Amino acid sequence: MNWSDQLLESLRSNDVDLTIYVPDEVLTPLIRGAEDDPNMEAFPASREEEAIGIAAGAALGGRRSVVLMQSSGYGNSVNALASLAVPYQLPILMIIGERGVLGEFNPVQVPISRSIRPSLDAMGIPHRTLEREDEVAAVADRMMLQCFRTQLPAVLFINALLTGGKNDR
């Protein structure tokens, strides 16, 4: 199974039936897969912090969701994580398509990409980076389990080595 189908399978087996996304080209197969799944409700939010807010409300209401975004959009979500998800102990599962790393062509993608992991570490939010297809299912499944059982946010990075990244050539 390719990486996006493995992630969709992990989402299903962890009872996630709501996908809130801010579009990202490398995550397109995952977004499309979520939208095509009749058991998954999937829609875009206008901004990443809004997506975190919707996911927080869903969690409060007892529904499991996932937030999809591009690494550049992480910067738009920090206050929602720092003043809502973390202090209220809400299981916000985030899947972030990575830009600004191996093979990046656009300089504006790089600084935020370098700041994400130190920022997550400072807030105590666990994260793993998926680079190989043979690790996706096991890591994703455990990360989702941890997120929902510990009631804390968690992040999966989808690296360019896994997706091929975005190509400008």
Partner 1 sequence: MASPRDDLAIMSRKDLTARVVGKLKNDEAVVAGIGNTNFDLLDAGHRPQNFYMLGSMGLAAPIALGVALAQPGRNVFGLEGDGSILMNLGTLTTIAAQAPSNLTIIIWDNGLYQITGKQETATSSVTDIVAVAAGCGIPNSAWATDENHFESLVETAINTHGPHFIAARVDDASATARPERNPVLWKDRFMVGIGSKPVQS
Which DSSP symbol is given to 151?
T
C-alpha to C-alpha distance for 115 and 133, rounded to whole angstroms: 25
Among the listed ranges 24-32, 50-58, 110-118, 152-160, the one in contact with partner 1 (CB under 8 A) is 50-58
Cβ–Cβ < 8 Å for 4, 29: yes
Q: Which member of 10, 65, 71, 113 binds partner 1 (CB under 8 A)?
A: 65
**Is 55 one of the binding residues for partner 1 (CB under 8 A)?**
yes
In the list 7, 14, 40, 49, the residue contacting partner 1 (rule: CB under 8 A) is 49
Output the six-digit token pair for 88: 């209220």
Residue 105 exposed, middle or buried by CB count within 10 Å (0-12, 13-18, 19+): exposed
Count interface residues toward partner 1 (CB under 8 A): 32
- Compute the least distance from the CB of residue 34 to partner 1, in Å: 15
Site string for partner 1, 84-123 (x = CB under 8 A): x--xxxx---------------------------------
Choice from 8, 11, 52, 143 touching partner 1 (CB under 8 A): 52
Cα gap 155→140, rounded to integer Å: 10
The residue range among 51-59, 117-125, 142-150, 160-168 that interacts with partner 1, by the rule CB under 8 A, is 51-59
Q: What are the C-alpha distances in Å from 71 to residues 28, 29, 37, 87, 116? A: 14, 17, 25, 23, 8
CB count within 10 Å of CB 127 equals: 16
Minimum CB distance to partner 1, residue 53 (Å): 3
Q: Which residues bind partner 1 (CB under 8 A)?
A: 18, 41, 43-47, 49-63, 65, 79-80, 82-84, 87-90
